[in-house]
């Protein structure tokens, strides 16, 4: 970890849940937001994750099934796999 270098799309994807939970170190958060400002694709992704988590959070109150969780996680992995294949690094 360089601390001052730019974040890659892959790093951002891995950190997005920490970001949305507010569990990120200030340095990482700054790099995360710096990348978001430069990368529309990751901005879209963050928006999707934010909505997904909001939805799941709502469902969880009515007890979400493990099966639904698995489907969600699989969709997330597929998204990541597709993205890493054609990552538009700047
Ligand atoms: Zn990106």
pLDDT tens digits, one per residue of 13-60: 999 989 988 899 999 999 999 999 999 999 999 999 898 888 877 666
Both tokens of 32, joined, read 């995360």
How remote is the CA of residue 42 from the centroid of ligand 1, in Å?
4
d(CA 53, CA 2): 30
What's the confidence (pLDDT) of residue 88?
A: 55
How remote is the CA of residue 12 from the centroid of ligand 1, in Å?
7
Cα Dmax for the chain: 43
Q: Which of 50, 49, 54, 43 is nearest to 9 (CA)?
A: 43
pLDDT tens digits, one per residue of 2-14: 445 689 999 999 9
How remote is the CA of residue 89 from the centroid of ligand 1, in Å?
7
Is the pTM for the entire model greater than 0.75?
A: no
How remote is the CA of residue 66 from the centroid of ligand 1, in Å?
30
The CATH class given to the 9-85 domain equals mainly alpha
């Amino acid at each position: 970890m360089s601390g001052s270098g730019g974040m890659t799309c892959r790093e951002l994807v891995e950190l997005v849940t920490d970001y949305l939970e507010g569990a990120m170190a200030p340095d990482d958060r700054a790099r995360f937001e710096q990348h978001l400002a430069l990368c529309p694709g990751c901005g879209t992704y963050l928006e999707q994750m934010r909505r997904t988590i909001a939805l799941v959070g709502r469902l969880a109150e009515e007890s979400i099934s493990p099966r639904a969780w698995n489907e969600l996680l699989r969709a997330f992995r597929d998204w990541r796999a597709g993205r890493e294949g054609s990552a538009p690094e700047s």
